[in-house]
Structure 1
Amino acid sequence: MSNSMLAEPSHWVKRFASLSPAGEVLDLACGGGRNSRFLLAEGFTVTCLDRDDSSFADLASRGAKTILHDLEPDPEECNWPFPSACFAAIVVCNYLHRPLFPHLLDSLQQGGLLIYETFATGNEQFGKPSSPRFLLQPGELLRQIHTAPKSLMHVIGYEEGFIVEPKPAIVQRICARKAAGSAPEDKLPVWLNEDQI
């Protein structure tokens, strides 16, 4: 598997990013910044948070705000640095810390978008992550977006299963809006072949 494949933004993020309202987007646990670079190129205002700042110089040079921060003081707690209703969208890929979910939802503005994709049970047969701590249980992502009673979430898209690219894995992914129900802006994007994305 080439580094260029890993540097490509998530197809899930590319599919749904256009549904985000105007405003600031948080790329949580941004890693190497592949999704941040895509979002910046699409004209979004992006804040990147990670506990490793190795990609920050490049991301800052492209216009991103960068925050060096450890979200996990221990397995049962979270260190959430943001206030309520401050982001138009939050993107999370290949990261799971369950105590964060109520805070993620609270920090979305009304009408804001959550785009989330990470590994699920069954991924252990393909390599890391293999610990249950980092693998979603069946249907868990659907349940987790309803963990903040004051944050009603409307699911726009959800998938669970096996993917081949960028590497074989079992994943769950969701796109949900902080809203009581569907709206015209939730027009489902057409799935394109990978060579068209």
Structure 2
Amino acid sequence: MQLYDGRGSQEVELPKMNLSPVYKLRSGPVELHLLEKAPASKRDVPADAPHVAVTEEMKDFILLVAQKSEKIDADVQANESGNAQSDESAEAGDGGKILTLMLIEVDPRKFKPGGLLWVNLTENRIKGTLGDEEFTLDAGSQTVVSDPIKGGGSFPVKLSFSIPGDDQLRPLSETKWIHYPKGRIVQFVMEEQGSVVPRLLGVADNR
């Protein structure tokens, strides 16, 4: 796939359920389009091509590329880009499938080594404990948890979720996670096709 910025394009990898290599963008406001092939000019970009707007102030982001059915459920692919952020999304048909783009803000001043960047892509509210700390993640929101424990090792995780219009908490996960003080993890909460229970997906951010 090609990521086109209005002046030129670069080929990008879209690993399934993982982050791609970092891609650098030119400075200034940019409108990014995801295309099957590089266009000869901006006039050759299909009007319904997936696109997002990047402002001049944006410095770092994760570009989430989702392949969805008409009901908005399906495979999610994470593609990480350098130099920007936003929340705009767009959809386009691609061989009978729908691709959407979403920019997820990454603030390096908050998302430091040892941290967890939580991104909730669902309408569910998440609540529980990470280690000894209380944790709440509203629907469609994101937050950074800094060092759930001091040093390395495992820590207990107990999470529940509620569905829209119902505050009753339902069990989501009760387990132990390994904490890597020198690493960063992007933790997605995603829709699970055919289930009301959301899915957790953690990927390492090794930039």
State TM-score, norm by structure 1: 0.25
The structure, 1 or 2, with the larger RCO (C-alpha pairs under 8 Å, 6+ apart) is 1
Structure with higher helix content: 1
Structure with higher strand content: 2
State TM-score, norm by structure 2: 0.24
Answer with 1 or 2: which has the greater Rg.
2
